Every structure is written in C-alpha cells, then in structure tokens.
Homo-oligomer: A and B are copies of this chain.
Amino acid sequence: MNKRDLRKQETNKAIVDAAREEFVKNGFLETNTKTVADKAGVAHGTLFLHYKTKHALMEKVLEDQLISIDIQLEKILSENGDLESLLNGYLDFMHENEDFFEVIAREMPHYPKEIRIKAYLNEASARDYFYRSIQKGIQDGIYKDIDIKMTLTFLFGTINYFLHNKQSIIKSGSIIEYKKESIIETFMKFISI
C-alpha cells in the first residue's frame, strides 16, 4: 500500500474511532459531525469524503459494534451450561458494555428499520441460548411448563426497563450490576416449580 492510501486509511480509522467514542457517550442523535471531525483531528469536510452522510458513518459504527458484540456474546453464552450461569454471563457482559446498550435502548425506536433489525438480531441470538436452556429444564421437570418466548420477553423487557430508567434509579455506576442478583433470583423463582 502506498503512502497516500495509508494516510487515507489512517484518516478513516480516526474518524470511525472518534465517531464510536462520541456515539457510545452521547448517542447517535446527539452526536454531531463537527465534533466527530474535531475529535478525529480532521477537517469537517473530510468526514464527508469518507462517509457520504452522518447516517452512513453511524451505520458503519453501529454495524462494527454489533458484530463485535455478537462474537463476544456467542463465546460467553456457549461456555455456560445451566440457565443461572447463562444469565450471570449475559448480565456481566451487559454490565461491561452498559454505555452502549443504554444508548441502544434509548435510541432504538428512532433508528430506521434496517438498523433496528440488525440490533434485534443481537437479542435474538441470545434468546436462542436461553430458549434451549429453559426448554431442557422443562423437559427435565425442573421448570414450569411456560410459554418460553413470552418468558424471555419478560426477561429482556426487564433488562431494557432498567437501561431505560437508569437515571431515575441510580445517580451513577452500573444499573445492571446493581440489579443483577435480584433479577436472577426473581426470574429463577418465576420459572421454577
């Protein structure tokens, strides 16, 4: 690769890195292109040479982030056997990426459909693991014979609820960490016979 292309690549990386940082901190809707350009150390116009629109830039950032999350999640969830470890692993992971998930929870309804679908796939693959674990528990007679899909909506709905209302519940720190034990305990009581 020649000098020119190298520089171009570096510029692109600087833009994407800056965009991701701003995005995770303040969300897509409140991030403006000038701030990203400044943070990346490039001219405002340069940003638009690399990404035609703010939307295209954010789509790139979001996609990268979702792919990275998907890979990590797959690893965590496939390592854990029983439901309680699965929940533990999942909530720990959410806790570690809480800023990102908080933004997603808050802004998701405002994103265009294609992006919403991609973000939803994330949850869908996690659901799969939980689904199979609960299904096995039902067959083994340790869990109630419940509507598993709806049961999982209760679980994911609750997690999202806490992400949404974080600011009203705690002043700082991690809401997931704060509520983790209680979520797991209550959920296990719900489904256990």
Contacts and interface: CB of A to CB of B under 8 A. Distances in A.
A185 B145 CA distance: 12
Contacts of A97: none
Interface string A173-193: 000000100110111011100
The A interface, classified by DSSP as helix, strand, loop or mixed, is helix
A147 interface: yes
Contact of A160 (B116, B160, B183, B186): B160
This chain's copy number in the assembly: 2
Given A108-B164, A160-B160, A151 B116 contact: no
Nearest to A120: B168
Interface in A75-129: 105-106, 108-110, 113, 116-117, 120
Contact of A158 (B110, B153, B182, B183): B153
A35 B14 CA distance: 41
Given A164-B160, A189-B144, A191-B190, A150 B109 contact: no
17 contacts: A106-B109, A116-B168, A120-B168, A144-B189, A146-B189, A146-B190, A147-B186, A150-B182, A150-B185, A153-B158, A153-B161, A154-B155, A154-B157, A157-B157, A157-B158, A157-B161, A160-B160
